Amino acid sequence: MKRAFTLLGLLACLSAGAQSPVSTTPAAHLPAAPTATASGAQQFTLANGMQLIVQPDRRAPTAMHMVWLRVGSMDEVDGTSGVAHVLEHMMFKGSKTVPPGEFSRRVAALGGQENAFTSRDYTGYYQQIPSSRLEDVMRLEADRFAHNQWPDAEFKKEIEVVKEERRMRTEDQPRAVLAEQLFATTFIASPYRRPVVGWMSDLDALTPEDVRNFHRQWYVPGNAAVVVAGDVDVARVRALAEKYYGRLPARAVPARKPRVEPVQQGLRRIAVKAPAEQAYVALAFRVPGMERVEALTDGDRDALALMVLSAVLSGYDGARLERALSQGPQRVADSASSSAMVTGRGPSLFLLSGVPAEDKTAQQVEDALRAEVARVAREGVSEAELSRVKTQWIASTVYQRDSVHGQAQDLGSNWVQGLPLDAEERLLALLRTVTPEQVQQVAARYFGDDQLTVATLLPQPLDTKPRRAAPAAGAPRH
C-alpha cells in the first residue's frame, strides 16, 4: 500500500480506531502552570481542572475549536461495548436549552463545519468556523458537554443508526471483519480486544441509562481539554474558556484500574470466512510502545526504531514491501503494507498485511512479509533509506502545519497521550537519531512466533444481494 506520512498522524493512526497513544499515567505529564512552545501554542489549566490549549495562526480568518476527552472504548466494561461511540452520537441530540438537531443547525448557520470521532483511547468534537464566531461555538459546546439531555425516543432512533453503521463499516466489509477478529484474538485482558463500534449483541442490549451513566462518569472537566487553533488572540480565548468552561463544576475523574495484557506464549492463528473477491492476510506482532519523548527508556528507543522500520518497509512509493512483493517476476501480492501501532493507552502492535496476487496464496504472502523483516534483521538497512524516511517526515510535518485542523488535531492527540505540546518537534529530533543498527536490532528482536497472531481471510462466494455502500471517509457520524 502506498502511503504518505505525517508524524503524529503515524503515531495516532491506530488509536483510531486508527490513529494509537501510554502505560504511564497521562496526568503526570500535564503542566500545572501555563506552558508555551516555539510555535506559539500555550496551555493553561482552568480552575476546575480542564485544560486549554491555544495555537494562534493568523494566516486566514478561521478557527478550529475542539474538545478532547481522555475516554474511549477502552474505558468501557464488558456488556456495554460501543457506549462511548453511542454517546458521541447522542451528544448531538440536545441539552436542557438546545433541542435535538439544533446544535448542528446553529453551527451551519454560523458558516461552520462540525463533526466528532471516537477511538479506543479518546473522543473528540470539533467545529471549524469563522474566527469571529468562536464564542458562539464555545457556548454551544460547553452547554452540551455539561448538560447533554435527550428523551428516550431519540436514543431508540439513534441506536438503530449506530447498528446500521456497524453493518456497513464492519459486517459488510470482509477486511474489517478480519481486523475485528484479529484484535479480539491478539488481546485477552486488554480492552483493545473490543471493537470501538461495539458488538452487535451489546448494542441490542444497550439502554438510555447506560449512555447517560457513561456521560456522567467520564465527561468531567478534569478529563477534558479544549483546543483552539487559528486566527485568535490567546488572552481572548482564555477569557472565553474561563467564561464558558471554567465555571463547570469540578468532579473527580474515575479511577482506572490496570488491565495488563499477559505475555503471549505462542503463535495464534485464525481464519475468517467472508464473501470476498480476494484473500487477505494480517500479522500482528506484540512490541513495546512509546511512552515518553523526554527521558527515554529502552522500550521507547525500540518503539522509535520500529516506527522507522515500518516506514522503510512501506512508507513511500517503491519501499521495500512494494518492491519485493508487488513488483517483478516473483510478484506474490497486489499490495502489502506495515504499521507501527506504538502509541496508545493500551498495548502496542506492529502490523503487516497483504493481498495475494492472482494464483498466489495468503500463505505465500505471509511468508514473503516475514522474509522481508528477516532480511532487515540479517542485512540491515542503508543510511540512504533512513535519510529518505526522515526527510519525508519533515516535509509532511511542515505541510500538516498549513491546516488549522491539523494543528489542533496534533495538539489534542499530544494531550490525550500525555505528551508535551511540542511532542512533534521532539519526536522528529529523536527520529533523526535512529541508526541503521537500531532498526536492524528491533527487526531481529520482535518478530518471532511467540509474539505473533495471524489472521487470514478465506474468500467465500459473493452474495448476490446488493451490498450497502460504506459511508464516505469523514462522513458525519450523527
Take residue 359 and report the three cell numbers written for it.
494464483
Per-residue burial over 462-477, b = 16 or more CB atoms within 10 Å of its CB, e = otherwise: eeeeeeeeeeeeeeeb
The candidate with the shortest Cα–Cα distance to 51, out of 72, 36, 32, 75, is 32
**What is the distance between the alpha carbons of residues 250 and 222, in angstroms, rounded to a whole number?**
7
Q: Determine the 3-state secondary structure of 179 from DSSP.
A: helix
DSSP character for 353? E
CA dihedral 180, 299, 123, 197 (to 10 degrees): 10
Q: How many Cα atoms sit within 13 Å of 62 on the Cβ side?
A: 15
- Cβ contact 440:446 at 8 Å: no
Q: Label residues 306-319 b or e (16+ Cβ within 10 Å = b).
A: bbbbbbbbbbbeeb
Query: Coil, strand, or helix at residue 336?
Result: strand
341, burial (CB in 10 Å: exposed 0-12, middle 13-18, buried 19+): buried
CB 313 within 8 A of CB 216: no
Distances in Å between the Cα of 93 and the Cα atoms of 137, 151, 195, 211, 462 are 16, 9, 24, 12, 38
From residue 436, how far is each of 15, 376, 380, 452 by CA, in Å?
27, 10, 6, 24
The catalytic residue among 76, 88, 154, 372 is 88
- Name the 3-class secondary structure at 67: strand
State how far the Cα of 181 lies from the Cα of 365, in Å rounded to an integer: 19
Instruction: Clarify whether 209 is annotated catalytic.
Output: no
Tell me the catalytic residues.
88
